[in-house]
Structure 1
Amino acid sequence: MVPRPTVRVRATRAAAVLTAGASALLAFSGAVAPGAAPAAGAQAVRAQAAGAGAPQVVPASVGQTLISGLREPISTSACLTQMKVRCYSPLQYRAAYDLAPLYRAGITGRGRTIVVVDSYGSPTIQRDLNVFDKAFGLPGTTVQVDKWGKVPAWNPKDDNQTGWAGETTLDVEYAHAMAPGAKIVLVETGVNENEGTSGLPQMMDAETYLINHGVGDVISQSFGATENTFPGFGKDGTRSLTALRYAFTDAQRKGVTVLGAAGDAGAASETANGGLYRYPANSWPSSDPLVTSVGGTQLTLDNAGRRTAPDVVWNDGNGAGGGGWSYVFSRPAYQNGVAKVVGTHRGTPDISMSASVDGGAWVYSSFAPGEGWGIVGGTSEATPIFSGIVALADQKAGHRLGLINPALYAMGGHGSAADGIVDVTAGNNAYQGVKGNAAGKGYDLASGWGTVDGTLFVDALAAASR
């Protein structure tokens, strides 16, 4: 029996979950309880912190799952009529990002590998991807699942595991949807409650192993930990954070592109105890100069994926695209051309893709305790979408692109539409009372360079790497 739909509203740490019948579901408006603190994870749950002062390793997406347990996805117009929110399929994203000319030319990511890194993984990921692909007429693929560390047996009563399973589902389904010819390698790590001391090292160890064994052209990371929560922040250069960069230095050496979700709390970021800093903060690995930081936009599309309004910075009341200054890393050379914006610090994001919950992505999952279709948003959506586009550029170039940021900033600095960078000039990422940054012409700390026309961008990025 297919379960009834579930409506999830972001709330405090004990997330409010409203199990609704069809009538209540159709009336749901997507409103968030006033003053509610953001929860985290693809199913609106947060991984426990080790304790005060310990960084949390959490999926980047904050306010994500609006509904789950539907029998089948419905159209955008039906979502607007029935739920007062927009919902999009992978086919609409493909149209919005102008990927059809690439697919017709045989650029599908064939011969390239996207590595997705998630704690615990999902026990039903292959089955769920098969259902997702069949629903949208996408070619099937077999996910290679690599377990790293002591991954615990599946426990549907463990909110950490079910939250990361939802994140895994989103990551795999949308990386594959954008680059249907690419191989998908899912790395499942066995993160325990000592999040800050064992979670990130496990993830970095797993990435390093794969990088140094030639596995992966693009690494998609939909997780983060706030810079401020690392031991030594503001005192000793945060050696506890910078000591974890070894995977990224190896990636640079091997020509592997590494992506990181910019987060879903706008200019703010999460504290170690599950709240929000009341002043701007940033998260790692998105803030790392060796990582391409992926922020969030809100798309307004019709049922065919055609834009009916320009993209804006994601800030829909359910979350907002991360962005701002790193307080650990100084400005990298590739950002010298935008020094007036970033100052002496590394600025994020670098680029932005669809992340709005009002305009979220259809996903399918069947792991216990539920089964069915849901609408999910967050920069955990934007990051795998962009990983697919980078994989297309890898195929177009005929080789790995490595750190794409120098090329990305050179392309953005050209100000030429032929490079496929589409400026986002409206919206801001102020969130929960924390002053954010406004989008404007050119590079900004709310959307980076903006978003992309996929075909032009892939061609230009591949050409820039020759």
Structure 2
Amino acid sequence: MSTSRRAPITAALGAAVLAVAGLAAAAPSASAMTDPSGASASAASASAASAGVKTSDAHVKRVCAQPSDIHLMSCQALVRTDVAEPNALRSHGVDRAAAPSGYGPSDLQSAYNLPSDGGAGQTVAIVDAQDDPNAESDLAAYRAQYGLPSCTTSNGCFQKIDQNGGTNYPSADSGWAGEISLDLDMVSAVAPNAHILLVEASSANMSDLGTAVNQAVSQGAKFVSNSYGGSEDSSDTSADSSYFNHPGVAITVSSGDSAYGVEYPAASQYVTAVGGTSLSKDSSSRGWSESVWSTSSTEGAGSGCSAYDPKPSWQTDTGCSKRTVADVSAVADPATGVAVYDTYGASGWNVYGGTSASSPIIASVYADAGAPGSGDYPSQYPYAHTSALNDVTSGSNGSCSPTYLCTAGAGYDGPTGLGTPNGLTAFTAG
């Protein structure tokens, strides 16, 4: 994807951020709470104004810095800056009498027809860059709020390792910590009985993140979520074989948050590329409706035709001779976002979105469905069960030709793939 397509979405920071979050004792100093690029809120607003962005309309910010090199990745998490939580939740973190803003576990389980006790016997791995020192305690607060089973190091449910399998964790980063909180919380929501393995890469370079993916697989994880992406380049096919070619493992990757255009590693032929939707409750028999997530020409679910990666045999659309993104999708719109608990760089409950949410959701649906076949690439499973998905037929993330690469319609399309989960059948071997 071109640099212009991956331009950051500038948010209205300052007072809005403080209204959402305050300062938790476990969080970094206020000097760390700046725009992800390192600029202050006022500087970010000035930059947005010069670029023609209406900051008064902005309600989200990217939590990670945009990459400065083609081999650097950015996390795909977006956080709302215009949501203020109740005082009890801001002060104490957990209050079963006061529901946090954003969708919680029961909402996601209802929307996607999922069991409330999924994931038993499985391990879902989360691969991110940098360290979140509060990962385990924040995870505990999220699960306590929603009455989910405890998942800790001491009971064997949670494990955090570095990319080499040890405990020499990388330097902490408040942006990636927000991404980590989002990922851990989505696994908890969708596969509450699964074990969780957090693998922290030393940097956001593809080689370090790829090493972390290999480490997750070597640790025995059959489900690996990757909520990051960067520009495509000609070395991607080499990275494919080095990091993502793991038959028998469901590897999911966010399609991107910069609207129409392809990012890597979502373009890898070996992964399940996960697009994004807007998810709303309605009066239909399902009780929910979805459309393509797209806020503007620079914010929305990524999609398109890869410039380099070959097309997997099970992908049969005819308007792209190489790999088409995405395969399936889930909620990603921050306006219909999910509740997340984060205290490293924030002060507790926030509402998150981005395809960073949809990737761990889909990895966890795979975990609910059970271990993949030993020689299978699980990305092929939905293509064998298209009727067992919610087909998303409305919305667009840009202009393109052929139009299905950026516009939803009956059957397969780029922004939402084959659709969203409707139970577990489409994610099951056989």
Q: Give the TM-score normalised by the residue count of structure 1.
A: 0.71
Cα separation, 1, equivalents of 2:341 and 2:215: 30
Cα separation, 2, equivalents of 1:361 and 1:67: 14
**Any residues of structure 2 matched to 1:441-452 within 5 Å, and which?**
441-452=410-421
Please list every run of 5 or more consecutive structure 1 residues that lacks an aligned counterpart in the other structure: 1-10, 26-31, 75-85, 155-160, 231-237, 269-281
Deviations 1:79-129 (CA, angstroms, capped at 9, x unpaired): xxxxxxx83222211111112xx34xxx62111111100111311111111
- The code of the aligned residue for 2:358 comes to A
Question: Where does residue 348 of structure 1 map in the other structure?
Answer: 325
**Any residues of structure 2 matched to 1:126-137 within 5 Å, and which?**
126-137=136-147
Match of 1:172 among 184, 189, 202: 184
The answer on 1:411 being equivalent to 2:416 is no
Question: Where does residue 330 of structure 1 map in the other structure?
Answer: 310
Check the 8 A contact 1:66/1:376 in 2, yes or no.
Answer: no
- The code of the aligned residue for 2:53 comes to A
> RMSD across aligned C-alpha pairs, in angstroms?
3.4
The answer on 1:190 being equivalent to 2:210 is no
Match of 2:221 among 216, 225, 241: 216
**Any residues of structure 2 matched to 1:3-152 within 5 Å, and which?**
16-20=12-16, 35-36=52-53, 44-47=62-65, 49-50=67-68, 54-61=70-77, 63-67=78-82, 70-71=85-86, 87-99=102-114, 102-103=115-116, 108-142=118-152, 143-148=158-163, 151-152=169-170
Cα separation, 1, equivalents of 2:105 and 2:394: 24
- How far residue 258 of structure 1 moved from its aligned partner, in angstroms, is 0.7
Aligned length in residues: 371
Question: Where does residue 82 of structure 1 map in the other structure?
Answer: none
Cα separation, 1, equivalents of 2:294 and 2:67: 26
| 1:356/1:69 CA distance change after superposition, 3 Å | same
Deviations 1:165-209 (CA, angstroms, capped at 9, x unpaired): 000000011112110111100001121xxx5xxx11111122223
**Any residues of structure 2 matched to 1:359-398 within 5 Å, and which?**
359-368=336-345, 370-394=346-370
- The DSSP-based 3-state class of the residue aligned with 2:14 is strand
Check the 8 A contact 1:96/1:306 in 2, yes or no.
Answer: no
Deviations 1:317-336 (CA, angstroms, capped at 9, x unpaired): 48211111101123221112
Check the 8 A contact 1:207/1:247 in 2, yes or no.
Answer: no
- The code of the aligned residue for 2:406 comes to N
**Any residues of structure 2 matched to 1:198-347 within 5 Å, and which?**
199-211=205-217, 213-227=218-232, 230=233, 238=234, 240-248=235-243, 250-252=245-247, 255-268=248-261, 282-301=262-281, 310-317=289-296, 319-336=299-316, 338-339=317-318, 342-347=319-324
- The code of the aligned residue for 1:162 comes to S
Deviations 1:368-395 (CA, angstroms, capped at 9, x unpaired): 4x31211110100011111111001115
Check the 8 A contact 2:63/2:179 in 1, yes or no.
Answer: no
| 1:247/1:24 CA distance change after superposition, 3 Å | closer
The answer on 1:422 being equivalent to 2:402 is no
Question: Where does residue 42 of structure 2 map in the other structure?
Answer: none
Cα separation, 2, equivalents of 1:389 and 1:447: 16
Cα separation, 1, equivalents of 2:68 and 2:419: 36
Q: Give the TM-score normalised by the residue count of structure 2.
A: 0.77
Check the 8 A contact 2:292/2:408 in 1, yes or no.
Answer: yes
